[in-house]
C-alpha cells in the first residue's frame, strides 16, 4: 500500500504556475537580442501571473480528504509505485510558493530599474526566471527525487546569477565556491534517498514518512544526517556558510532573491517537509538545533565587523537562517517557518533599499564612505529603519512575533541553552543592524573623505560592466517594490501571528504540524519576550553610544579608522573558516589532483591504454607474420595442426586404456 500526501486530482493551475517561469526563461534566452529591455517586463509579467495562479490555488492547497492534505497532481510514472512523479501543493509548499512568486515578482520589478542599461539585460532575466522555476520544482515536488532535481537546479541557477558579471575573477570564484559547496550538500541528500528507497522501495514523501518507525534508530539518524548536510550547505550553516558572503558578488537583486525568499531557506523547507523523520529522531533534532544556534551566534558576531553593506546583510541572513534551522530542528516547526515568512519580507526590503543606496552612490558599498544619507535618500532610510526594527524583534513589527516563536519554541521543547543563544543573538543583531543604520544615514557624508583616513587600504571599485553603462531609470521602478514590502514588514506578523495557538498562523498549520503536548516551560512566553527585549535594548544602546551620539558623529572619521585597525584578527579572518577549508580540503584536493596529473594519469591510466595498444600491435605483428601468401606455408600450418590433433587423441586413447 502506498501513502499519498495530497488529494489526487487534476490541477492545471498548479502545473501552469510551475512551468510559466521556465517558459519565461526560454523566451528571454531565445529572443534576448530582440527583446532587449522588454525582457524584464516579460519575465516580471510571467512571474506575476504565477503568483496570481498560486493565490487561486489556495483552496486546493488547503483542502482535506481523510488523511490527505492539499492537492496532488500526478505527472508521470516509471515502474508504478516506485518512481511516481507529481506536484504537491499543501499548506507548507503553498506558503513557499506564494513567497517565491510574490516576493520574487517584486524583485523582478525592481531589477528592471536596477539593471537598466546593462548589456546582458535579457540574459539576467532569463537566469532569474530559471531560478524561480528551479525553486518551484524544489518546493512543489511530491517526492525525494523531484526535490533533489530542484535542489540541483537551484544550485546551478545560483551559479549563473552569482557569476553574472563573469568578467570579474572574484565573481567567478564566488560562483564556483557556491556551486561546489552546494553539490556537496546534494550528495548528502542523495545518500539519504538511497537509504529511504532501500527500505520503502519508493521515492514518495508519503511512503518515506510512513516508514519513519521502521527504519531503526541508527538508519533514521543516518538519513536525517544526509538530509541535514544538504540543508546546511544550501542554508549556509556552519561549517558550510562561507559561500554566502562571497555570493554578494552578484547584482543586488540576486542577493535579495537568494538571501530573502528562496535559496537559503531551502534547508528550512527540507527539515519542515521531513518533520515526521525529524520528530522520530531526537538526536537529529539535537544536532540541527545546536548547529542552528551556533550559526545564529557566529553570523551575528561576524556581522559586527563588516563594512560592506551587502556583507553585513549577508551575515545577518546567515544568523537569521540559524534561527530558522534551530526552530524547525528542535521541533518548533511553525516557529521556524514563521521566521522564514517574516524574514522574506524584511530581508528583501533591506537588500533592495541597500541597492538604492549603492545605485545612487555609483556602486559604493562600504558604509565608511557613506553617512548623512537620511535626507538625501528618505525612502531608503525609512525602509532600512523599519527593516532593522523588524529584524531586531521590536514589537509590534513582524520580526518580533516570529523570533519570539523560535526562542520560546526552543524553551518549550527543552532546550534552554538554545533559547539563551537566541536571546543573545537578538542583542548582537540589534547592535550590528543599528550600527549599519547609524553609520550609513547619520552624521556627515564621508564619500569625499580620503579612504586612507577611514582605514580603507584599497577602496571598493565600481563594477565596470554595470556602472559604466548606468542609465537613470524612473525612481518608482526601484522605489515601488521597496515601499510595498514595508507593509508586511511592519504589520503581517501582528495580523497573522498574534494570539498564540489561536492565531491565524497556528490554525493554518494545525493540520500539518499538530500541536504537541509539551511540559510547561520554565518561564512564561511574556517573561521570555521581556528577557529577549532586554538583550535587544542592550545591543541598541551599545550601537547608539558608539555611533550615534553627538561626539561619535563629530569624530566619525577617526572612530571608524580606529575601529578598522582595532578589529581582532580572528574576526577579520572570519574565525579562520576559509583558511581551515583551504588547509583541510582545497590544498589536499589540489595536491591529489596534481599527483593524478603527474603519476596516475600518465603512468597508470594512459600507461594501461598504451600497454593495450602495444599488446594489440604485437599480436597483430605476430598474426601478420602468418599471412605470407605462400601456399606451402599454409599447407605446413594445416599439417602442423592436423599433427597436433593426432598426437592429442593418441595420448588421450592411451590414457583411457
Give me the chain's average pLDDT, please. Answer: 90
> 631 to each of 182, 298, 626, how far by Cα in Å?
70, 88, 11
Residues ≥6 apart with Cβ < 8 Å to 157:
127, 130, 131, 134
Whether the predicted pLDDT of 230 surpasses 80: yes
C-alpha cell recorded at residue 573: 579572518
Whether the predicted pLDDT of 124 surpasses 80: yes
Mean pLDDT of 454-474: 58
**What burial letters (b/e) apply to 253-287, b meaning 16+ CB within 10 Å?**
bbbbbbbbbbbbbbbbbbbbbbbebbbbbeebbeb
Residue labelled with grid coordinates 531503526: 216
Quick one: pLDDT band at residue 657, thresholds 50, 70, 90?
low
Q: 71: which strand partners?
A: 7, 89
Beta strand pairing call for 68-69 and 64-65: antiparallel
CB count, 10 Å around CB of 512? 20
Q: CA 270, CA 268: separation in Å to the nearest integer?
A: 5
How would DSSP label each residue in 232-296? HHHTT-TTSTTHHHHGGGS-HHHHHIIIIISGGGHHHHHHHHTHHHHHT-HHHHHHHHHHHHHHH
Residues ≥6 apart with Cβ < 8 Å to 446:
368, 369, 370, 371, 372, 454, 556, 557, 560
Query: What is the model's pLDDT at position 93?
Result: 96
C-alpha cell recorded at residue 244: 554566502
Check: CB of residue 6 under 8 Å from CB of residue 61: no
Per residue in 419-453, pLDDT tens? Answer: 999 999 999 999 999 999 999 999 999 988 888 88
Query: What is the model's pLDDT at position 137?
Result: 96
Task: For residue 363, give the DSSP letter.
Answer: T
C-alpha cell recorded at residue 232: 546546511
C-alpha cell recorded at residue 339: 521566521
Query: What is the model's pLDDT at position 140?
Result: 96
Using only C-alpha atoms, the chain has a radius of gyration, in whole angstroms, of: 30
Query: What is the model's pLDDT at position 58?
Result: 96
C-alpha cell recorded at residue 261: 525568499
Mean pLDDT of 218-247: 92
Report how far Cα 330 is from the mean position of its chain's Cα atoms: 20
Q: At what angle do helices 309-330 and 398-412 cross, to 10 degrees?
A: 40
Residue labelled with grid coordinates 594445416: 638
| pLDDT cut 90: percent of the chain above it | 67
C-alpha cell recorded at residue 469: 553603462
Per residue in 317-359, pLDDT tens? Answer: 999 999 999 999 999 999 999 999 999 999 999 999 999 999 8
CA quadruple 227, 230, 236, 240: dihedral sign: positive
Q: CA 423, CA 307: separation in Å to the nearest integer?
A: 24
CB count, 10 Å around CB of 125? 31
Q: CA 567, CA 558: separation in Å to the nearest integer?
A: 14
Quick one: pLDDT band at residue 90, thresholds 50, 70, 90?
very high
Strands of 338-379, DSSP E: none
Quick one: pLDDT band at residue 474, thresholds 50, 70, 90?
low
Residue of 30, 46, 140, 32 lying closest to 86 (CA atoms): 140
Whether the predicted pLDDT of 520 surpasses 90: no
Residue of 234, 225, 227 lying closest to 182 (CA atoms): 234
**Cis amide bond preceding 60, omega within 30:** no
Strands of 430-563, DSSP E: none
Query: What is the model's pLDDT at position 467?
Result: 47
C-alpha cell recorded at residue 275: 518533520
C-alpha cell recorded at residue 161: 546569477
Quick one: pLDDT band at residue 468, thresholds 50, 70, 90?
very low
| φ, ψ for residue 74, nearest 5 deg | -75, 135
Report how far Cα 189 is from the mean position of its chain's Cα atoms: 14
Amino acid at each position: 500500500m502506498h501513502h499519498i500526501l495530497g488529494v489526487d486530482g487534476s490541477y492545471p493551475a498548479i502545473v501552469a504556475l510551475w512551468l510559466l517561469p521556465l517558459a519565461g526563461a526560454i523566451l528571454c534566452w531565445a529572443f534576448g537580442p530582440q527583446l532587449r529591455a522588454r525582457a524584464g517586463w516579460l519575465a516580471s509579467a510571467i512571474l506575476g501571473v504565477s503568483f496570481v495562479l498560486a493565490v487561486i490555488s489556495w483552496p486546493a492547497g488547503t483542502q482535506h480528504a481523510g488523511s490527505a492534505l492539499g492537492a496532488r497532481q500526478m505527472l508521470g510514472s516509471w515502474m508504478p509505485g516506485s518512481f511516481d512523479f507529481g506536484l504537491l501543493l499543501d499548506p507548507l509548499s503553498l506558503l513557499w510558493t506564494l513567497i517565491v512568486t510574490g516576493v520574487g515578482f517584486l524583485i523582478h520589478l525592481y531589477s528592471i530599474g536596477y539593471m537598466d542599461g546593462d548589456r546582458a539585460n535579457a540574459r539576467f532575466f532569463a537566469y532569474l526566471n530559471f531560478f524561480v522555476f528551479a525553486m518551484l520544482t524544489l518546493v512543489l515536488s511530491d517526492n525525494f527525487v523531484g526535490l533533489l532535481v530542484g535542489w540541483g537546479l537551484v544550485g546551478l541557477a545560483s551559479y549563473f546569477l552569482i557569476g553574472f558579471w563573469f568578467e570579474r575573477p572574484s565573481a567567478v570564484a564566488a560562483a564556483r565556491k557556491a556551486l561546489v559547496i552546494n553539490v556537496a550538500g546534494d550528495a548528502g541528500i542523495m545518500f539519504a534517498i538511497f537509504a529511504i528507497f532501500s527500505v520503502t522501495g519508493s521515492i514518495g514523501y508519503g511512503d518515506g514518512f510512513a516508514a519513519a518507525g521502521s527504519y531503526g534508530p541508527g538508519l533514521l539518524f543516518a538519513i536525517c544526517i544526509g538530509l541535514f548536510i544538504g540543508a546546511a550547505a544550501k542554508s549556509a550553516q556552519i561549517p558550510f556558510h562561507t559561500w554566502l558572503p562571497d555570493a554578494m558578488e552578484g547584482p543586488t537583486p540576486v542577493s535579495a532573491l537568494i538571501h530573502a525568499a528562496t535559496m537559503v531557506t531551502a534547508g528550512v523547507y527540507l527539515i519542515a517537509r521531513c518533520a515526521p523523520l525529524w520528530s522520530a529522531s531526537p538526536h537529529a533534532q539535537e544536532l540541527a538545533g545546536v548547529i542552528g544556534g551556533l550559526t545564529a551566534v557566529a553570523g551575528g558576531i561576524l556581522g559586527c565587523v563588516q563594512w560592506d553593506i551587502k556583507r553585513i546583510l549577508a551575515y545577518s541572513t546567515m544568523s537569521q537562517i540559524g534561527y530558522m534551522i534551530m526552530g524547525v530542528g528542535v521541533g518548533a516547526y511553525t516557529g521556524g517557518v514563521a521566521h522564514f515568512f517574516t524574514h522574506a519580507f524584511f530581508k528583501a526590503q533591506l537588500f533592495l533599499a541597500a541597492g538604492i543606496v549603492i545605485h545612487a552612490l555609483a556602486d559604493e558599498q562600504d558604509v565608511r564612505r557613506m553617512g548623512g544619507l537620511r535626507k538625501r535618500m528618505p525612502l531608503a532610510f525609512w525602509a532600512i529603519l523599519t527593516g532593522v526594527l523588524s529584524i531586531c524583534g521590536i514589537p509590534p513589527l513582524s520580526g518580533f512575533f516570529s523570533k519570539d516563536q523560535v526562542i520560546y519554541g526552543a524553551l518549550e521543547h527543552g532546550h534552554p541553552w538554545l533559547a539563551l543563544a537566541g536571546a543573545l543573538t537578538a542583542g548582537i543583531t540589534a547592535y550590528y543592524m543599528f550600527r549599519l543604520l547609524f553609520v550609513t544615514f547619520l552624521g556627515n557624508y564621508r564619500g569625499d573623505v580620503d579612504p586612507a583616513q577611514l582605514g580603507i587600504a584599497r577602496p571598493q571599485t565600481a563594477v565596470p560592466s554595470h556602472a559604466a553603462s548606468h542609465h537613470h531609470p524612473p525612481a518608482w521602478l526601484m522605489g515601488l517594490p521597496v515601499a510595498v514590502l514595508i507593509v508586511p514588514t511592519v504589520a503581517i506578523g501582528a495580523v497573522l501571528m498574534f494570539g498564540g495557538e489561536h492565531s491565524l498562523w497556528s490554525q493554518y498549520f494545525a493540520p500539518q504540524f499538530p500541536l504537541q503536548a509539551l511540559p510547561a516551560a520554565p518561564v512564561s512566553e511574556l517573561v521570555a519576550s521581556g528577557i529577549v527585549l532586554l538583550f535587544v535594548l542592550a545591543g541598541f544602546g551599545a550601537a547608539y553610544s558608539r555611533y550615534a551620539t553627538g561626539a561619535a558623529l563629530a569624530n566619525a572619521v577617526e572612530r571608524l579608522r580606529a575601529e578598522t585597525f582595532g578589529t581582532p584578527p580572528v574576526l577579520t579572518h572570519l574565525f579562520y573558516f576559509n583558511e581551515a577549508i583551504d588547509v583541510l580540503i582545497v590544498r589536499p584536493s589540489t595536491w591529489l589532483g596534481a599527483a593524478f596529473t603527474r603519476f596516475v594519469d600518465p603512468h597508470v591510466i594512459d600507461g594501461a591504454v598504451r600497454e593495450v595498444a602495444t599488446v594489440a600491435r604485437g599480436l597483430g605483428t605476430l598474426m601478420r607474420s602468418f599471412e605470407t601468401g605462400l601456399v606451402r606455408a599454409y599447407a605446413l600450418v594445416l599439417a602442423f595442426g592436423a599433427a597436433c590433433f593426432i598426437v592429442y587423441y593418441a595420448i588421450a586413447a592411451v590414457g583411457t586404456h
